[in-house]
Structure 1
């Protein structure tokens, strides 16, 4: 069994486009759950609107990618307002129910044949990001190797852009949560009644956090649309939101870098057993007799065990502070 090869594959996933996508999703969720105490189970809906904003404007209306990105992020922000208006004055579970329902409704609407002329239904939208890759300093079809870790030029360009965006967002979140706005937001999370007694409009602050986190989720969808050059409604399932929560749990909620570290670890922990199990099940005399589907499922079992152990022994996550946030709040 080639452990070095498995580690090289895992490192590629650790810093690859998928890790960036989930880092962006988790940063938005961190503003919702970690700093504002909002239970959002539909973060992937914001990413769906961000991605489709790019694809629809580029393919249907022949508009530049930057305009589609702006429209997609703006649509995600508008969705946050629509979801927040009736729910943020109520208990947290109402927001959770509304967001997960809205996420599934949007996915089903976008995959419906009745919207085929607009969303291209289950066929999705493909091959529209040529202008993004045309400015890449890398040869998109060439394979680059760094200490045995291999990337295609297109993925490498996406990673450079993606990690710059992640870094800028981390700086923005760092500045926001240490500003008076951030301190009020955490006060609302800890004791909303006390914050109101001091004259703070808790509803207004929660709405701002919901919109900002939703726009970051929309940005995640924009990045994914650029990096993969494809948008399909079936990708934007509710499971993606819970994967982002898994990353947030691993890294630590209410921390600036926790969502990023969690997303990287999430994909690393998926890639290592996947690579090792595929080696163990290949060849004429395999060590394990598992199908490809069983290998794919088993890696999620191992990841689930890792998250359970994290919840038992370090519920605040790797970078989290136990006094800062409780996952059962």
Structure 2
């Protein structure tokens, strides 16, 4: 096995668009679940809304990339309102079922041939990069060192992704230190007690759903910046991966989702390189390279179960503040 190449690929994944997109999605989910107590199992739907809103605004309406990004965020806010008005009075498992169903309905809408001219159906959308790349101030060339060596376009995607993550972290950090954030955490702990104090619990939940959804939509946009938008990406497993990253770092924290996403994607990249290499060397009991590649998803599932059982607060979380058993 070429350990140098494996470690180089793993290090490179730390600032990949996928990692940054997951970090934003996990941060949005932290607003939903970690702070408001909303079990949203449809985070992939918010990411899809952001990505498709961005791409469609450019391809169909000819908007500039930054304006298209705002449209994607606005579309996610509208989706949150449509989803939240009839469902936010549900609690626990019922809300989880509704949100996962809503995300799947949304994915099938993007997949259907009825809107093929707009959504691209199963082929997805591509060719929307010209405006974004034209705004790149970095001179043509290759920059960086070691595993972090990219051309000007790749750096531009990563820089915009990092800036978006920093802005989102600052917004969430300031809000959660405010009276609004403290009320939100009170709703998570005991919404009946907060309601008895005269607070409009439904309104606070709706605000958190919109805010977290817009952050997750920004993650979908960053995820789609370097390549294409495909309905095959926004499947249920994407939601579970984001949940894994969130729980790994710490649900009721601001920086936990970022750390969890970095670790999650570093491990994913490491395993996707190591396991096929071990299979080709005959070290995995006769498994083929394809079987070895699938094995990493099994390991992710096992890791998620172990996290929920033994460390529900995550790496940066406080066990007294948030656990699954109350």
* TM-score (structure 2 length as normaliser): 0.93
Q: Which residue of 1 aligns with 2:314?
A: 317
Give the equivalent residue in structure 1 for 2:153: 154
The residue correspondences of 1:162-181 to structure 2 (distance < 5 A) are 162-181=161-180
8 Å CA contact 1:84–1:95 kept in 2: the answer is no
> What are the equivalent positions in structure 2 for 1:227-242 lying under 5 Å apart?
227-228=226-227, 230-242=228-240
Residues in 1 aligned to 2:194 and 2:4: alpha-carbon distance in whole angstroms: 53
Q: Can you list the C-alpha shifts for 1:231-279, whole angstroms capped at 9, x where unaligned?
A: 1112111211111000001100110100000011111111112212233
1:275 aligns with: 273
Q: Separation in 2 of the partners of 1:97 and 1:279?
A: 39
Contact 2:34 2:252 in 1 (8 A): yes
Q: Displacement, 1:325?
A: 1.0
What's 1:57 paired with? 57
Q: TM-score, normalised by structure 1?
A: 0.92
**Are the counterparts in 2 of residues 55 and 68 from structure 1 also a CA contact under 8 Å?**
yes
Partner in structure 2 of residue 95 of structure 1: 95
Deviation at 1:44, TM superposition (A): 1.1
1:193-237 residue CA offsets vs partner (Å, 9 max, x unmatched): 111111111111111101111111111122223232x11112111
Aligned-residue CA RMSD in angstroms?
A: 1.9
The correspondence for 1:293, drawn from 290, 293, 310, is: 290
Q: Mark the runs of 5 or more structure 2 residues left unpaired by the alignment.
A: none
> 1:56-89 deviations in whole A, cap 9, x for unaligned?
1211222222222112111111111111111112
Cα distance, 1:211–1:121 mapped onto 2, change above 3 Å: same
Q: Does the 8 Å CA contact 2:54/2:68 hold for their aligned counterparts?
A: yes
Q: Which runs of 5+ in 1 are unaligned?
A: none
Aligned to 1:195: 194
Comparing 86-95 with 98-107, greater Cα deviation is found at 86-95
Q: CA contact under 8 A between 1:16 and 1:155: conserved in structure 2? A: no
**Residues 310 and 102 of structure 1, relative CA distance in 2, 3 Å threshold:** closer
